[in-house]
Structure 1
Amino acid sequence: MSQPRRNQGPLLRFTKMHGLGNDFMVIDAISQPFRLRPDIIRELADRNVGIGFDQLLVVEPPGLPDVDFRYRIFNADGSEVEQCGNGARCFAKFVRDQRLTNKKVIRVQTARGVIELRLLKDGMVVVNMGVPELNPPAIPFAAECRKKAYTVEMGAETVELSAVSMGNPHAVVVVDDVESAPVSELGPRLENHPRFPSRANVGFLQIVSRSHARLRVYERGSGETLACGSGACAAVVAGCLQGLLESPVVVELRGGRLVVEWQGEGAPVMMEGPATSVFEGQLRLPGGSSGSRRRKPSRPHKQRI
């Protein structure tokens, strides 16, 4: 007679999604219990032994009045972050697809405030990303006063960048050509630069015309991704402030295009783009996944493509 398996945890349902190639594992934590340690998240994010994703998105009940859901985001390294624009679009599609709401306009609580998501008939999603923060202490960014661009020392070299918060900190560097930009070398150095005490997402912005830009982003805690919604918003804000761009702007990322609108200081940034479901599945978590033992999660079972 076979012995029962020990330390086996519950089944966890999830959906794999992406926004322009920026990919996510999305979990409904309203209808099922969910709690994972950072090391388990890192294993799930691993593209060789886990599901593989840039960020983990979690749907929770609201903690504030007049909002529909709470939206939590975890990077591939297990750290929790404040904002993810591509994830917000996937969040909107997920809660509609899962019949958690029938609203077309959804108010969502994030770690840095409330954002509004609007689903369009053509499957596109418009996200009100809120008013960008330009005051250095609030980004946070170490500077004596606010400027359109800052000079940051990198050893014997210096880099000119703009600092913007879209609910999460961004450094935006204007380059001649994103294809030859030193993303893999300069990205992690700026991400962890001491002038960004909470680290930073680093965008490399190429101006094609006043209404068209190209962008690559080295995301905090995840590395370079195919797209970054909040990074596109920060880049447009930085470009407009420097007189290089004029709203609306088509932002071309490696995974596709977003349309970003910003009417100037005091106005929110509006971002429009697609959200795509890839498959649904479930996996059995290791027993005590919220405890102290570290075990690899089982590989997911794909249910729908």
Structure 2
Amino acid sequence: MTLPFVKMHAHGDDFIIIDRRGQDDPITAQVARCLGNRHTGIGFNQLAVVLDCADAAARIKFWNPNGTPLEACGSATRGVADRLMQETGTDSIVLRTERGLLTCVRVAGQRVSVNMGAPSLDWAAVPLAEPLDTRTLPISGSPAACSMGNPHCTFFVEDIAAVDVEALGPALEVHPLFPARTNVHFVQVLDRRHIRLRIWERGGGVPLGSGSCCCGAVVNGIRRGLLDDTVEVHCDGGTLTVQWDGQGGVLLTGRVEPIMQGTVYAIPV
């Protein structure tokens, strides 16, 4: 099997887009793993498969490089929106993901915004393994938790440079409190409108950035009373903006840029 693809990134958070509108969807866990291998495949933090949809411009399915599906990806959603807005000559588009219908718009500076929907804050929706206050979990470091369609666990630290993300992340991802595993964030609050964020991504390791993780980290910071409603998130790969009024949808804004396009060969069927 051969597949055409486009690869993009959002401040270093790289993803590939495979457009299968009008065609079948050949992506399985095995295919996603093959494509996600950075030595023998293309390599990515996420894979976005674009499919036909009756009530939106397209439906998107997401995969991690280890072959597990994921429910939300702010970076790849904005990348797909960027391409489809160019295709249709519009500055606004609606896409369907597991989060529901998401509205994306083009804003100044070649940035793309997506309303990621309201966060889920109840313990069962994260999900957690037992009823707990998601603002403060009984884990060393007292993290907060929420869901942006995928689970997020946020630690607030004094000095992010002192945190060994690669060492701490794997065990926290599979902590017994998270039956579906979790993304893990480490946040240093610089001031009420700026944070420094490093991430251990569920099923992916340490990325340069992550749109949904930026959203989850800011939501948890606002819930803790540490942040204002508009925050610049400084990741390893660049800066994104997250806005949340404490009740409605979370707005994620930043640049998305193409890297390459081509055809990948010898994909298993």
Report the TM range for the smaller structure's normalisation.
over 0.9
Aligned Cα RMSD in Å? 1.5
- 2:118 equivalent among 117, 131, 135: 131
Contact kept? 2:118, 2:148, Cα under 8 Å: yes
Of the three residues 137, 150, 164, the one matched with 1:150 is 137
1:279 match: 260
CA apart distance, 1:162: 0.4
Which residue, out of 186, 190, 193, partners 2:175?
Answer: 193
Looking at structure 2, the residues matched to 237 and 19 of structure 1 have their Cα atoms a distance apart, in angstroms, of 20
Segment of structure 1 superposing worse, 104-113 or 193-202: 104-113
Whether 1:24 aligns to 2:15 is: yes
5 Å-filtered alignment, 1:59-70, equals: 59-63=50-54, 65=55, 67-70=56-59
The counterpart of 2:187, out of the listed 200, 205, 215, is 205
Runs of 4+ with >3 A deviation: 31-34
Aligned with residue 93 of structure 1, among 78, 82, 85: 82
Whole-angstrom distance in 2 between the partners of 1:282 and 1:33: 17
Which runs of 5 or more residues in structure 1 are unaligned?
1-8, 153-157, 291-305
Equivalent position to 1:114, from 101, 116, 123: 101
TM-score normalised to the size of structure 1?
0.84
How many correspondences in the alignment? 269
Checking the alignment, whether the CA contact within 8 Å between 1:127 and 1:272 is kept in structure 2 is yes
Cα drift, residue 272 of structure 1: 0.8
Give the Cα–Cα distance (whole angstroms) in 2 for the partners of residues 41 and 147 of structure 1.
32
Deviations 1:94-126 (A, max 9, x none): 2234x2x33322111112322111112531001
Letter in 1 for 2:36: A
Measure, in 1, the Cα distance between the counterparts of 2:192 and 2:251.
Answer: 17
Q: Given the two structures, how large is their TM-score scaled by the length of structure 2?
A: 0.95
Alignment of 1:250-289 (within 5 A): 250-264=232-246, 266-286=247-267, 289=268
Match of 1:172 in 2: 154
Task: Pick from 62, 73, 82 the counterpart of residue 84 of structure 1.
Answer: 73
Paired residue type of 1:275 = V
- Is the partner of 2:162 in helix, strand or coil? coil
Q: Helix, strand or coil: the match of 1:208? A: strand
Distance 2:202 2:127 in 1: 14
SS at match of 1:134: coil
Which of 35, 39, 53 in structure 2 is aligned with 1:48?
Answer: 39
Q: Deviations over 1:239-298 (max 9, x none)?
A: 11111111211110001001111111x211111100000111012334xx33xxxxxxxx
Q: Cα 1:50–1:35, aligned 2, differ >3 Å: closer, same or farther?
A: same
Give the counterpart of 2:206 among 210, 221, 224. Answer: 224
The answer to whether the 8 Å contact 1:28/1:60 transfers is: yes
Give the aligned residue type for 1:272.
T
Q: State the Cα distance separating 1:32 from its structure 2 match.
A: 4.5
Could you report, residue by residue, the CA deviation over 1:149-179 in whole angstroms, capped at 9, with x for unpaired residues?
Answer: 1112xxxxx2311011011100001111222
SS in 2 for 1:244: coil
In structure 2, the gaps of 5 or more residues are none
Higher alpha-carbon Rg: 1
Aligned equivalents of 1:113, 1:192: Cα separation in 2: 26
- For 2:207 and 2:113, locate their aligned partners in 1 and report how far apart those are by CA, in whole Å: 21
1:12–1:285 Cα contact (<8 Å) kept:
no
SS state at 1:214 partner: strand
Equivalent-residue separation in structure 1 for 2:57 and 2:27 (angstroms): 23
Helix, strand or coil for the counterpart of 2:143? strand
